[in-house]
Amino acid sequence: MKRGPGVGVNYLFMKHAFVFPGQGSQFPGMGKEHYENNAFAKKLFEQANEVLGFRISDVMFNGTEADLKQTNVTQPAVFLHSIIAFKSIDPAEGSPDMVAGHSLGEFTALVANGTLSFDDALTLVSVRAKAMQKACELNPSTMAAVLNLADDKVEAICAEVQKETGEVVVAANYNCPGQLVISGSVKGIEIACERMKAAGAKRALVLPVGGAFHSPLMLPAKAELAAAIESTKFHNPTCAVYQNVVAKAVMDKDEIKQNLVDQLTGAVRWTQSVEAMIADGASRFTECGPGKVLQGLVLKINKEMQVAGVN
């Protein structure tokens, strides 16, 4: 386990938060080392191949970056890698006192706290990915990262562009102070980016993504995901999940379900979620899954936190 600041601090009275990454953390060859060296990981990979109906392990181990960028591959791949990373943690490290996931990672968090079984969560991730892919194909849309501009200013410009042009533009990912991702139609995002830069943003950069995630343009995917969630068994969680759309601790199964559905068209309030976890006692964050993006975001939100990664 890689460690960040705070090594050597007494853990006795700390609350330990486990966090899980979303789409964008994938890379060619992901998970191969786990598959080759861990019998339990190999079993989960084969289980996933069966649930999904195709050998996602082959794409993860041998596919190109382009192969892994397909939403119907990316989301289950990141979910699978993250679960295996979580399951590989030495029990001596302790169990989560609270969990959260960035976008897709919320499904991983719900396996970690016992709300969903592995098979059920993977099935929902697959349904979600396919529904989102179809929604992307219906409308040309994209996302852009806005750096070093106050959240309220970004929100105001989005609202202004929508009102003036009729194009969809919304704040989508509140990643950390000074980093907010906007989402919407291609034209709306282009106009908004120019206005963000004129308003003083350090950068307003269109991202290489296939659609406007966490915006009203994902509405066509909502009914399909809602139906799949409604037919899936949810269990009582062992600890609270801090969900993206509400940025607070949730323990109620029905509320968890609704928040998962609302997340498709609602914002990922990651900054607010981490702040809420810290307010509720978290001082140690372990990121489980490919990459270390969330560790960096946690430290940008509060540099006093101890962070670690298991990948």
Active site residues: 103, 214
* 3-state DSSP assignment of residue 208: coil
Residue 275 burial (C-beta neighbours within 10 Å; 0-12, 13-18, 19+): middle
Rounded CA separation 180/107 (Å):
22
How many other CB atoms sit within 10 Å of the CB of residue 205?
Answer: 16
Phi, psi of 68 (to 5 degrees): -75, -15
Q: Are 188 and 168 in contact (CB under 8 A)?
A: yes
Give every CB contact of residue 134 below 8 A, 6+ residues apart in sequence: 220, 221
- How far apart CA 103 and CA 108 sit, in angstroms, is 10
Beta-ladder partners of 170: 183
- Say if CB 51 and CB 122 are below 8 A apart: yes
Instruction: Report the distance separating Cα 43 and Cα 41, nearest Å.
Output: 5
φ/ψ of residue 5, rounded to 5:
-60, 155
- Integer Cα distance of 90 and 265 in angstroms: 37
